[in-house]
Amino acid sequence: MSTRIRKQSRILIPLVVLIAFSPRCESFFPEVFQEGEFAISTLDDRACNYLTRSLYPPTDTLLVIDNQGVLDTIAIADTVNYPGTLVVIETIVLTDTVFKEITISFDSLAAVFDSLISDTVDASEAQINAEFDTLRMELDTLAVDTTLRVKIPPGVSKGYAFYNHAFPDYAVTDVVFFIDDYIDINIINRAGTIIEATSTVIPLELVTGCTVIKTRYVFELDQAPYLVRFILDMGIDSKRAGSFRTALLPAE
């Protein structure tokens, strides 16, 4: 029996070497090695656009001018040093309808709620409900289908915001959080239960197609109000400079 095994080994070893050094391994495993272009999904592409788009104040004003016979635009601030005579044809007021700025909070109310939902405190559901309702009234609100700039108060390593998961189409249950930094997210319902994300994976197509997105969390939620706790990774050399950007989009 040992002789038979040695003969089989002499046959298998050259085959393994041949496969290892073959310039086209996919000829041996066509189902594993496949060529093709893999584009990011429509949802991820929209999030990428939100997180990379230029932000300007909620309202801005541009002037349409006659620049030597050619229509051009100029910002109000640039008119001071404009050479020559300024011929204004039209005034345009721009409004950024998909930009919102909020600030996460971890004040004394947030600290009390944070302690009630921890494993070390035996709090009643009625007590948690009451603190939830009090805290939500004090928090900034996260909006869906917008680009949000989330400001971080100095010295804060975690903070809360309010989110109301409500869609006219009740078939929509999933919401996806996209963030341009490394942030952990907890979503907490009125009973104090932390809802686990169904996915925190960033698809490979998104990694290569939109390098700005560092965090992607998917949550399956009931139609209800929630508190969102952002936990900042202070161990990473972050470039958030006092804020990060996020986009909340309903899953397709």
Domain contains 200: yes
Nearest one of 201, 215, 233 to 47, comparing CA atoms: 215
Task: Choose one of 72, 95, 118: the last residue of a domain.
Answer: 95
Domain containing residue 104: CATH number: 2.60.120.380
**If you average pLDDT over residues 104-133, what whole number do you get?**
89
Token pair recorded at residue 92: 């345009």
Q: Tell me the CB-side half-sphere exposure of residue 37, using CA atoms within 13 A.
A: 2
Mark whether 80 and 107 lie in a shared domain.
no
pTM passes above 0.85: no
Nearest one of 217, 239, 243 to 228, comparing CA atoms: 217
**Is the pLDDT reported for residue 196 higher than 70?**
yes
Domain contains 31: no
- What sign results for the dihedral spanned by CA atoms 128, 134, 138, 140? positive
Task: State how many domains the chain has.
Answer: 2
**If you average pLDDT over residues 144-148, what whole number do you get?**
84
Mark whether 89 and 104 lie in a shared domain.
no
Mark whether 174 and 223 lie in a shared domain.
yes
**Is the pLDDT reported for residue 96 higher than 60?**
no
Domain contains 19: no
Mark whether 119 and 76 lie in a shared domain.
no
Domain contains 73: yes
**If you average pLDDT over residues 140-167, what whole number do you get?**
88
Mark whether 115 and 84 lie in a shared domain.
no
Could you tell me which residue, 20 or 153, shows the higher pLDDT?
153
**Is the pLDDT reported for residue 50 higher than 50?**
yes
Task: Choose one of 73, 95, 117: the last residue of a domain.
Answer: 95
Domain contains 18: no
Mark whether 234 and 153 lie in a shared domain.
yes
Domain contains 16: no
* Residue span of the structural domain in which 76 resides: 59-95
What proportion of the chain, given as a percentage, has pLDDT over 70? 69
Diameter of the chain by CA atoms? 100
Mark whether 210 and 91 lie in a shared domain.
no
Highest mean pLDDT among 162-171, 180-189, 233-242: 180-189
The residues pairing with 159 across neighbouring beta strands, listed in sequence order, are 230
Mark whether 84 and 201 lie in a shared domain.
no
50 CA to centre of own chain: 9
Tell me which DSSP letter residue 154 carries. T
Domain contains 20: no
Amino acid 173 reads T
pLDDT computed for residue 9 by the predictor: 42
Domain contains 45: no
pLDDT computed for residue 11 by the predictor: 42
**If you average pLDDT over residues 166-174, what whole number do you get?**
75
Average pLDDT, the chain: 78
Mark whether 171 and 79 lie in a shared domain.
no
Task: Choose one of 76, 95, 114: the last residue of a domain.
Answer: 95
Mark whether 179 and 88 lie in a shared domain.
no
Please say whether the beta carbons of 209 and 144 come within 8 A: no
Please say whether the beta carbons of 96 and 57 come within 8 A: yes
C-alpha–C-alpha distance, residues 92 and 129, integer Å: 48
Mark whether 63 and 132 lie in a shared domain.
no
Mark whether 223 and 142 lie in a shared domain.
yes
